Amino acid sequence: MAKKLNGTVIVTYRCNARCNMCSRYKAPSLPEEEISLETIKKLPAMYFTNITGGEPFIRSDLQDIVRELNKKSDRIVISTNGFFTDRIVELCKNFPNIGIRISIEGMRETNDEIRGLPDGFNRGYETLKKLKEMGVKDIGFGMTVQDMNAKDLMSLYDISDKLGMEFATASLHNSFYFVENKNIISDRQMVAENFEKLINALLNSRSPKKWFRAYFNHGLINYIYGQDRLLPCDMSFDTFFIDPYGDVMPCNGTKEKEVMGNLNVQTWEELWNSPAADEVRKKVRCCDRQCWMIGSVSPAMHKYIWVPAIWVVRHKLRFWTKKKYSIYEIPVVREYRDGRITKAELDRLSTCDLCGVASDGLSEMSRKKLSADPEEKRKDDHII
Ligand code: SF4
Ligand code: SF4
């Protein structure tokens, strides 16, 4: 029997939010081009599926998509900005085992400023509370940490902890998927210090899952200082992303879209075993982008489990001797503190490219429509 894979299905590039770290809303897909049920039926067996966008709940047929994916995936988690409460609640009534991660970018004011969604915090928070009342078990917050919201990291963690919910973190990345190439953390020290508080709270908990999350957050500090990933990246080997056009890709972190094949016109076996897929795998082997996003790190943490496990044991032992985790365990953080490396040098280690143009991974048709009538096109993101 073929090995089950880890897949991410990007069901749409349309989005109703206006986030400051993601320009996807400026480059939406056309509804008529978005991945069909016929294509979804061709996906392989998966042990985990993430459904994402854009904003996935913009699609009126999301329930049908989930029904199909449910047949082939052991676990499904949907990433959403939480705005469409009624649709999320409705879906969870029909699929109570589904996981929901709502991105909340800080406390009320900060979140609404970053997201550009009127009343976004209240809507997201109310959605989470409703799901909790309904008894949905697999729910949580997602937060992309940047200069503007790092100070809210612990407050959000405390809320999630009180509500007994998962708390997933990320930091700024640049890629075709986010249609961004200018994202960068400016005050690394301040952001890292907030992560340090979170790591210590996670290590101090009784939950082994949280201890491993502490390791993930340690990796985020390492990433924002431009260092090599703590674990190898094996995207495209047993993990894939599929975009709204049916293009199968290794991940969402590359500068330009990398295509292994197209599932609208190929079978899964043809695509996965094709020379194009092997070419992409060769590129992954020498990729230097050093992303640290849960989509590529979670499979690596499972595959190379002894690396985070040793880290966790070492830090739990130190914790019992009252020695807390410190950001200065990471050599580059010490070097920056001691003036042996400058901010400009650290900036150069990031993927931020102030002179380049961000790629968008759109189809010809979507791009033509967008350049013909950009404002009209963006109104489509409210189509239901
Ligand atoms: S981060 Fe998500 S919610 Fe925000 S604009 Fe991008 S796709 Fe939309
Ligand atoms: S490091 Fe991995 S996840 Fe990031 S762009 Fe390269 S292959 Fe993709």
Tell me if 316 CB under 6 Å of ligand 2: no
What pLDDT is stored for residue 319 in this prediction? 81
Distance 188 CA to ligand 1 centre (A): 23
Contact 138, 165 (CB under 8 A): no
Distance 290 CA to ligand 2 centre (A): 6
What are the C-alpha distances in Å from 176 to residues 79, 102, 157, 257, 283?
Answer: 18, 22, 29, 6, 16
Which two structure tokens, joined as six digits, stand for 253? 């972190």
Distance 254 CA to ligand 2 centre (A): 6
Which two structure tokens, joined as six digits, stand for 131? 């799901």
Ligand 1: residues with CB < 6 A are 15, 17, 19, 22, 24-25, 53-55, 81
List beta partners, residue 247.
262
Q: Where is 46: in which H helix or E strand? A: strand 46-52
What pLDDT is stored for residue 384 in this prediction? 38
Q: Where is 377: in which H helix or E strand? A: helix 374-379
Backbone angles phi, psi at 138, to 5 degrees: -95, 75
Contact 210, 161 (CB under 8 A): no
Q: How far apart are CA 343 and CA 90, in angstroms?
A: 48
Classify the C-alpha dihedral 272-273-274-276 as positive or negative.
positive
pTM of the model as a whole: 0.95
What pLDDT is stored for residue 383 in this prediction? 41
What pLDDT is stored for residue 321 in this prediction? 82
Quick one: which atom of ligand 1 is closest to the CA of 24?
6
Q: What is the mean pLDDT of each run of 10 residues along the chain (384 residues)?
A: 91 97 96 97 98 97 98 97 95 96 95 92 93 94 97 96 94 98 98 98 95 98 98 96 98 98 98 98 97 95 97 92 92 98 97 94 90 63 44
Tell me if 181 CB under 6 Å of ligand 2: no
List beta partners, residue 359.
none
Q: Residues 291-304: pLDDT tens digits?
A: 999 999 999 999 99
| Ligand that comes closest to the CA of residue 105 | 1
What pLDDT is stored for residue 374 in this prediction? 64
What pLDDT is stored for residue 195 in this prediction? 98
Distance 281 CA to ligand 2 centre (A): 11
